[in-house]
Every structure is written in C-alpha cells, then in structure tokens.
Amino acid sequence: MRWVACRGSSGTEPPSPRFGHTATTLNRGRYVVVFGGLSRASDSTSGGALNDVVVLDVLHDAWFRPVARDAAHQPPPRAFHCACATSATTMTIACGRDGREQRGDAWTLDSETWTWTVLTQARTTARDFACCAPVGDGSMVMFGGFDGKKWLGEVETLDARRGAEARWRTERVRPAKLEAIEAIVATASGKTAPEARSGSAMVKYGPNVLVFGGQGANGGAFNDTWCLKRERDENGEPDGWSWVKLVLRGSPPNARAGHAMSVMSTTSTSGQTPSIVVTGGVGDDGWLVKERCYYDDAHFLDGDNARWQKLSFSGEGNGPSSRAYHTLTHVSQNKCLFFGGFNGANACNDSWWLTVDDMEYLDISLEARPSPRALVNALRDRLKTESSVNVFAGNDAAFRQHLSACDVEDVKIGDVPGLMREYALATAALGLPGSRQDAQGRFRHRDSADITLRDLGSALTELQSAYIANA
C-alpha cells in the first residue's frame, strides 16, 4: 500500500482544519461528504464546533460546498458524532457534542437535493465518541460512547428508512454460540462482550460489524477486536446479534482511541479479500510516567489469514503525520480517503489517498479506463524497446525509450537530471501552464538534486503518460 496526497486540484477550497468530524461515501463512491468537527482545541463552552458540509467529488477531483434548498434547516454544530451511509444517496448522523452540550438527535442528508431531515422520534442517550456502521436495508448500528458521566456499552440499531417514525432500538446482544472457537476462547477468559468504551472504530465487514480499540472507564485504552455477528434463524432471516471476541495472529496495534478504520480489498490466492486498515489514534506511552502519544502508524488485518501486521510504505517522508480524531473513508475496493485530525496542538486539513500497490494510484477518477501502466506496456511493445539499456550517452532516443517503460527502481542516480529534463519538456509539450502551483506538471520546477524517491516515482509516471499523449 502507499500514501498519495489528494490534490483536489479543481473546485473550491478544501474543508477548513478540523477534527472529530465525519466523512461518508455516497453515490457509489462518487462523493465523500465531510460534516462538522472541531475547528480548534478548546476547554471553553464554545469549542468551535462546525456544521458545514464540504464534499469531495472523486470523479472530478474537486471539493465543493453544496447549496441546500433549506439552509435554515440543518443540524446544530457538533463534533465527535458518528455517521454512515444508510442508502446509496443518504447518510445519517447521530449524537456528538458542541462544547459541553452533548446531543442525542439524528439527522439524514440526501445527496440528490442536499437537504437535511431531522428524525424527530430518533432520540437516544446524549453522548459523544460513539461509533456506527451501516448494516443494510437502510439500517445502522451504533455502539458505545460517553454520556458525560459514564462510558456506554449498549448496541442500538436505527432503521432510517422510516423517516420521522424511525426510532432507536436497544439490541439484546447475546454471547456467541459455544461451538464457535472464538466464543470458547472469549468465554474462557471471562469476556463475553466488550467493556463499555468510547472512541472506538467500527466498520461493516460482510454481514457483520467489527469494532477495534477505544477508551474505557479507567481511562485506559484497548487494542482488542470484536465482531458483532449477525445471527440468522433456520430460514436464513436475521435473528439478532452476538458478540465474538476475535483471537487474531500477529501483533495488533498499540492500545488507542480516536483512530480511524476502513475496509480495503487485497488480492490473494482466493481472489479479492476484504481486509481492515487502522490508522493513527492516541494512547499512552511510557513506563513509569504515562504520556499521551499520537500515532502516525498504519496496521493491516489480513482477512485471508486473520493476522495483524504493521504496514511500511515505500518512499517514506510523505503521508499523514501523527494524529487522532481523523477519518479514513472507504471509497472503492482499492482506495480510502484520509482527512483531517488533531496532532496534539493543531487541527489538520490535509487529505491523502491510501491505495493498494497494484492499482494506478495517480488516477483517482472512477471512470473505467486503461491505466497508464497498461498503456506504457503497450508502448513498450510498439517501440520494441530492449529489456535493458545500459548506455545512453549521446543517445536521447534510447534514453526516452528506457524511461517510457522502466519503473522507478530502474532509474539510476545519474539518470535523474535527464529524467527531470525530459519531464519538463514532455509536460510543456502538452500545453500545461507553467505555474509552481499547478496540480499537473507540478514537478517541473523541482531541483533534481533534492527530489525524493516518492516524488521521482510520481514524476516518472506522469512523464510516461505525457509520452503516450504526445505519441
């Protein structure tokens, strides 16, 4: 996997710096809808909570601020709420807080009209730091949170399709059946349900829901993983829920809260396998003296063999910094959007794509098209490029053919000045503007002596695309 900066190269300004917001995918991955959050850290009663809606149009790589038909009818400002998609074009938000005022309301947002609807009957215990996930058929499930006095451990469901008649339902979640090996282990350890907690992360995983981490009543953080399993009766109809504590291989992430979690698909011998990614968060570090520690790591739970592993990224030096209370939003099978967060001192508003290695990560469009790598392979065949060219002195044509088909690992240090010279010429030939702020051709003004390996790889891919466009 790799991190790639999300440029948002057209449209309006990206969302202002914030944390404790939500970011929800709608319209089958076309939109990522950012709502609310805190604009600054504050202990005052007015904590700078927001209630604006800013949307990333993934297809056009553009941020925009939708104009609602009824701008006066919208949720009050809030942060540390939860949200998820309850239909292809509708998201539902619940709970949260503004300053010291906690909320227990629920609202839906329709992305076709950008109108808000309050679910007047959907009142629950006012809380913040709960987590939620969609469970199909217009319903969502919510777990945990903090109500100002105690941590919560109830599971509640809401059928948002009922609109004004929708009500929260407290589920009676039973321990998993004893024939499940996970249930046997959980029962033997005396844990048949997760402890009450806040700041957990939750994702839908097949028909079930996974919960990781959070902070409990003693102030300590968790690094356990639980499955909220959807039970079925003998006819295959939904028949309640059960908790299963997952016993996983590998080394799990450090105990933390305020992290983000999402689902990505990876290729395995059995095909495309949904797996889990956990990023960032805040926990305690130290032995004698505990100190708050903000994380910049990412961990991967392989769905094929139930094993945790810490991710390492090629081209280090880029990617999100240490932070918590950010979002990691599933956009497609191979791609998630990371946005915002709090680094211990300030709110952030940078955004990053987390993508798998075997996809064309610079093309964030949803349109079906051959990747530049596939076109480069076709160009290699057309030009009958030699598999290895060792000497380019005085032979610009051979050097260009080598660049058109090589990977960044094949570029030698001595070739970098020539590569950057070719990059400047090829992107200029496409008629791209020459400003340093341009999203395309953006490496044209970089000094070849200080360009990073990551940026060199991006420049090489853009150069190969320019060769194809100019062919």
- Residue 241: CATH number of its domain: 2.120.10.80
Note whether 136 and 235 are same-domain residues. Answer: yes
| 364 lies in some domain | no
Are both 319 and 401 inside the same structural domain? no
The beta strands (E) that lie in 286-359 are given as 291-294, 298-302, 307-310, 327-332, 335-342, 347-355
Which of 299, 326, 355 terminates a domain? The answer is: 355
Residue 192 pLDDT greater than 80, yes or no: yes
Greater pLDDT, 445 or 376: 445
Are 291 and 339 contained in the same domain? yes
pLDDT for 269: 58
Task: Report the C-alpha gap between 467 and 382 in whole angstroms.
Answer: 13
Number of domains in the chain: 2
- What is the reported pLDDT for 382? 47
Indicate the length of the chain as a whole number. Answer: 471
The angle that helices 396-405 and 416-429 make with each other, rounded to 10 degrees, is: 80
User: Is 448 part of a structural domain of the chain?
Assistant: yes
Residues 151 and 296 in one domain: yes
Q: Please indicate, yes or no, if residue 366 is contained in any of the structural domains.
A: no
Residue with more model confidence, 168 or 186: 168
The whole-number pLDDT of residue 363 equals: 42
Q: Are residues 259 and 216 in the same domain?
A: yes
pLDDT at 187 over 90: no
- Between the alpha carbon of residue 407 and those of residues 445, 455, 460, the distances in Å are 22, 13, 8
Domain range for 425 is: 372-470
Residue 71, in any domain of the structure: yes
- C-alpha dihedral (235, 241, 245, 246), degrees to nearest 10: 50
Q: Does 377 fall in a domain?
A: yes
Shared domain check, 400 and 277: no
**Is the CB of residue 259 less than 8 Å from the CB of residue 295?**
yes
Domain contains 384: yes
Same domain for 92 and 218?
A: yes
**One domain for residues 280 and 378:** no
Q: What's the chain's average pLDDT?
A: 82
Query: 137 with 169, same domain?
Result: yes
pLDDT band at 175 (very low <50, low <70, confident <90, very high): confident
For the question of whether the overall pTM of this predicted structure is more than 0.75, the answer is no
Residue 289 lies in a domain: yes
Residues 223 and 252 sit within 8 Å (Cβ to Cβ): yes
Given a cut of 80, whether residue 287 has pLDDT beyond it is: no
Q: Rounded to whole angstroms, how far apart are CA atoms 338 and 343?
A: 14
Amino acid of residue 448? S
Q: Is residue 367 domain-resident?
A: no
CA atoms of 2 and 354, how far apart (whole Å): 6
- Same domain flag for 380 and 279: no
